[in-house]
Amino acid sequence: MTSICVFGAGAIGGLMAAKLEMAGTPVTVVARGPHYEAMRAKGLVLHSEGQKTVTKPRVHTDPKDVGPQDYLVLTLKAHSLVPAMAQLKPLIGPNTTIVAAINGVPWWYTYKLGGDFEGRRVEAVDPAGVVSAGLPPAQTLGCIVYPAADVVEHGVIGHTYGDRFTLGEPDGSRSERAGKLSELLIKAGLKAPVRPRLRDELWVKLWGNMAFNPVSALTGATLDRVLADSGTHAVCRAMMVEGQAVAEKLGVRFAINVDKRLAGGAEVGAHKTSMLQDLERGRPLEIEALLGAVVEITLDPEALVVDCVEGPDAGSPQLAFEREALGAEPDQAPDRQAERQELERRALQRREQRERDGDEGDRRDDEEPPEATQRPAHGDQRERKRVTLVRVGPAADEHAFLPARDPVRGETNQVGVIPPRSRRPLT
φ/ψ region of 172 (left if φ > 0, alpha if ψ in -120 to 50, else beta) reads: left
CA-to-CA distance for 133 and 121, rounded, in angstroms? 11
Q: Are 131 and 268 in contact (CB under 8 A)?
A: no
Q: Are 2 and 180 in contact (CB under 8 A)?
A: yes
* Nearest to 347, CA basis, from 333, 364, 332, 335: 364
Q: Which residues make Cβ contacts (< 8 Å) with residue 312, sequence separation at least 6?
A: 395
Alpha-carbon separation of residue 312 from 35, 342, 359 (angstroms) = 42, 21, 28
Strands (E), 225-363: 305-306, 318-319
Question: What's the CA angle centered on 406, arms 400 and 411, to 5 degrees?
Answer: 100
Q: Are strands 71-74 and 4-7 parallel, antiparallel or unpaired?
A: parallel
CA-to-CA distance for 164 and 425, rounded, in angstroms? 36
Q: Are 4 and 27 in contact (CB under 8 A)?
A: yes
DSSP letter at 276 equals: H
Half-sphere exposure of 402 (CA within 13 A, CB side): 26
Q: Are 326 and 116 in contact (CB under 8 A)?
A: no
258-267 and 198-219 helices, crossing angle to 10°: 60
3-state secondary structure 113-136: CCCCCCCCCCCCCCHHHHHHHHCC
In this structure, the number of other CB atoms found within 10 A of the CB of residue 338 comes to 9
Question: What's the CA angle centered on 326, arms 322 and 330, to 5 degrees?
Answer: 40
Pick the catalytic residue from 56, 205, 249, 272: 205
Alpha-carbon separation of residue 120 from 185, 188, 344 (angstroms) = 32, 37, 20
In this structure, the number of other CB atoms found within 10 A of the CB of residue 264 comes to 13
Q: Are 130 and 325 in contact (CB under 8 A)?
A: yes
Is there a catalytic annotation at residue 187? no
What amino acid positions are annotated as catalytic residues?
A: 205
